[in-house]
């Protein structure tokens, strides 16, 4: 070991391994010369561009230019807005929760009956009550009163049956606040005194009053022969 002295030169056989073989070097030179002749590289001179000076625009020139451009714009080139697309469509297909009473009246004027609209109206009322977040039930109560008044005229059973099922659902959901609110607003059943078609006689009705007509037994007359009657008489 000779610290501080350069390393000895590698052997000649090792140096030969890093050299390009003479034959390959000769052939590569020939190919390089051919490429130089085929693809001549010309020197390109770089032209310097003169920087253009931006002249400042006078205030008078700017005003004249802006007034000229504004004069070229006509009202015919401006886009037109169709105001009809912003209006609410007149054709109502179903009772919604935004304007339930108005939707109901429009559909009824179009030929729908109370029976046809009962399911849509009750679904809208239930959606407004169950999905309420701000605690304001005024729209739902107005729709409920409107539906009650409509059923009062011709179909009291529709309202009474729905009200009983709705109260049961509110009880199952533990919506006691809504039940108390309905009682305070006196959203009760349609009594028989209000419409003779109703089977409910008092506000504290039970199932037997609601389904009185549905559960009434149908009696049939049976003809018994005289021989059978004589047989029972002799017993």
Long-range contact pairs involving 158-162 (C-beta distance under 8 Å, separation at least 24): 158/114, 158/115, 158/118, 159/189, 159/190, 160/189, 160/190, 160/198, 160/199, 160/200, 160/210, 161/210, 162/118, 162/122
Q: 3-class DSSP state for residue 21?
A: coil
Q: Is 225 exposed, middle or buried (0-12, 13-18, 19+ CB in 10 A)?
A: exposed
Domain ranges of the chain: 102-188
- Can you tell me the distance from the alpha carbon of 221 to that of 193, in angstroms, rounded to the nearest whole number? 33
What pTM did the predictor assign? 0.51
The structure tokens listed for 132 are 């309420």
DSSP 202: S
Please tell me the predicted confidence (pLDDT) of residue 29. Answer: 87
Please tell me the predicted confidence (pLDDT) of residue 45. Answer: 81
Instruction: Quote the crossing angle between the two packed helices 138-154 and 156-172, to the nearest 10°.
Output: 140
Please tell me the predicted confidence (pLDDT) of residue 224. Answer: 65
Residue 92 near residue 106, CB atoms below 8 Å: yes
Q: Among 182, 103, 116, 183, which residue's Cα sits nearest to residue 155?
A: 116
The Cβ of residue 110 has, within 10 Å, a number of other Cβ atoms equal to 9
Q: Among 206, 192, 190, which residue's Cα sits nearest to residue 144?
A: 190
**Residues in the chain, pLDDT under 50:** 71, 73, 85-87, 211, 213-217
pLDDT tens string 76-103: 555 565 555 444 555 788 999 999 999 9
What's the sign of the alpha-carbon dihedral 20, 24, 30, 33? negative
Q: 3-class DSSP state for residue 155?
A: coil
Please tell me the predicted confidence (pLDDT) of residue 113. Answer: 93
Q: Among 157, 152, 102, 155, which residue's Cα sits nearest to residue 124?
A: 102
């Amino acid at each position: 070991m000779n610290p501080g002295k350069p390393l000895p030169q590698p052997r000649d056989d090792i140096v030969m391994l890093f050299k390009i073989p003479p034959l390959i070097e000769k052939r590569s030179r020939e190919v390089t010369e051919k490429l130089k002749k085929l693809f001549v590289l010309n020197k390109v001179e770089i032209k310097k561009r003169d920087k253009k000076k931006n002249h400042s625009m006078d205030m008078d020139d700017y005003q004249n230019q802006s007034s000229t451009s504004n004069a070229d714009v006509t009202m015919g080139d401006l886009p037109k807005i169709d105001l009809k697309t912003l209006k609410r469509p007149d054709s109502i297909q179903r009772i919604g929760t935004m304007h339930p009473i108005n939707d109901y009246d429009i559909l009824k004027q179009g030929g729908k009956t109370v029976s046809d609209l009962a399911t849509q109206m009750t679904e809208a009322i239930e959606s407004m009550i169950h999905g309420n977040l701000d605690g304001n039930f005024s729209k739902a109560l107005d729709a409920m009163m409107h539906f009650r008044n409509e059923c009062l005229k011709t179909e009291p059973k529709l309202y009474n049956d729905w009200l009983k099922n709705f109260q049961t659902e509110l009880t199952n959901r533990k919506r006691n606040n809504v039940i108390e609110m309905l009682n305070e607003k006196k959203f009760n059943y349609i009594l028989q005194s209000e419409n003779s078609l109703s089977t409910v006689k008092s506000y504290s009705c039970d199932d037997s009053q609601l389904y009185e007509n549905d559960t009434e037994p149908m009696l049939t007359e049976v003809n018994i022969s005289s021989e059978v009657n004589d047989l029972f008489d002799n017993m």
